[in-house]
Amino acid sequence: MEGVEEVVIVGGGICGMATAVALKRYGIEAVVLERAESLRTTGAALTLASNAWLALDALGVSHKLNPLYSALTKSVITNLITGAVQQVPFPPTKRGQVGPKTVHRKALLEALVEELPMENIRFSCKITSISTELDTQGSSIAILQMEDGSTIKSKVLIGCDGVHSRVARFLGLGEPVNSGRSGLRGLSVFPQGHGYDHHAFRFTLAGFNGGFVPISKTELYWFLVHGESTDPGHQDITAETPPELIQRYVIEHYCKDFPPVYLDVVNHLDVSTLTWAPLKLRLPWNVIFGNLSKGTITVAGDAMHPMTPDLAQGGCCALEDAVVLGRCIGDTYLKNGQQLVSSEVAKAIDDYVKARRWRVAGVITASFISGWVQDGSTWLKRLVRDAVYYRFFPQYASNVINYDCGSLPRRSSSAESNSKQD
């Protein structure tokens, strides 16, 4: 069986759905291929800074989420070695912008999916290979071989398929590398209320960086990052390990030197939301000099720029990608009489790559450095942290979170046409 599509997006996570929404604003119907059997809601929650809220506003969905969550006001950082407590206000946002808010990943994904025709989202779609061919007009067509034996051809192929992206491999991008740290995250639930102010609470210890952030009056987003060299025994934990055993392992081995308030949060963990994975990143020079596109094939989100979570910018940058890529393709679509002309789309994708390459390479670098210095486990880290990081980083962080990726049409061209006929 063979099908031919205008645009295929590989990956039905936040980036994939957001890209489909951005294209739909121009009247372009993209097909989203998701390997899972249903919407992927793993990851529990994510913090969205002002740049993400500007992207969500461009996508037309921020109004669904913004009223549900409160902005974080500051970060309260406790050094468990010295006992020092530092209160760091979040970088100021520009007038009218939304400050950082931690939201449920599921709520964000569902807000995006509501904007799309469900028939355009195909589940249980696993790709076995990607190739290209020329059509009768000499334009390149992407060919996807599926696990069920079917073939899908597409004029435009966008890989939003995560850290281990098959599309990125097709483009020849260097594989993501291990950061030397692993991360745990999940939701902790207090049915009677947790009583914490709306701050980000963090605790640093040699080799460890943990914390929690209120989402609602009863839920906290909980996380712990640890250096893999600090605990060789964690290698015994696998994807098949029951989450209850992982929780017990964390309490017994990691939390013994953390304060009771942190241990209490871990004890209230909803184990169904727990994830544990090595933290990977794409080397920034692979982003700067690598092939982020080939003709009408490109990548976005973690497929382009996996990064450590220390700046909470992975999801934010993915939403930016969606808006910029959707606008680049959408503008050329309208310019060519609502048609996708391969040569013009290839130029549009080149423009997208130029707009994103240096931006995300910088965020990858800053995020890694931020995580590297935070635990202060060596004299060099403490020197960089105290002499450089704390002095100059706030201004850079302000520039990152106040970035505006631009606008999109508020309604698709097809919707406008229909309303005029009515």
How confident is the model at residue 377, as a pLDDT? 64
How confident is the model at residue 372, as a pLDDT? 79
How confident is the model at residue 42, as a pLDDT? 65
**Residue in 65, 57, 160, 55 with CA at minimum distance from that of residue 103:** 65
Return the SS3 of 296.
coil
How confident is the model at residue 258, as a pLDDT? 92
How confident is the model at residue 363, as a pLDDT? 95
Q: Are 405 and 320 in contact (CB under 8 A)?
A: yes
Question: How far apart, in whole angstroms, are the C-alpha atoms of residue 382 and residue 153?
Answer: 53
Q: What is the pTM of this model?
A: 0.92
How confident is the model at residue 232, as a pLDDT? 52
Joined tokens for residue 307: 């990064």
* Per-run averaged pLDDT (10 residues), the chain, 422 residues: 84 97 97 90 84 96 94 89 86 74 95 96 95 81 94 96 96 94 92 94 88 95 83 62 88 88 94 90 96 96 96 95 98 96 95 97 91 72 73 75 91 49 44
Joined tokens for residue 416: 């406008």
- Give the model confidence (pLDDT) of 287-335 as tens digits: 999 999 999 999 999 999 999 998 899 999 999 999 999 999 999 999 9
124: Cβ contacts below 8 Å, ≥ 6 apart: 34, 35, 36, 37
In what side-by-side order are the strands of the sheet with 200-205?
85-89, 74-79, 200-205, 208-214, 219-227, 177-189, 275-281
CA angle 265, 269, 274 (to 5 degrees): 125
Which contiguous run of DSSP H or E holds residue 108?
Answer: helix 105-113
CA distances from 225 to 18, 173, 208, 231, 271 (A): 28, 27, 6, 12, 17
How confident is the model at residue 229, as a pLDDT? 66
- Give the model confidence (pLDDT) of 182-211 as tens digits: 889 999 999 999 999 999 999 988 888 899
Give the count of alpha carbons within 13 A of 231, CB side only. 21
What is the four-CA torsion angle of 281, 368, 71, 54, rounded to 10 degrees?
A: -60
Q: Are 115 and 408 in contact (CB under 8 A)?
A: no
Q: Are 212 and 223 in contact (CB under 8 A)?
A: yes
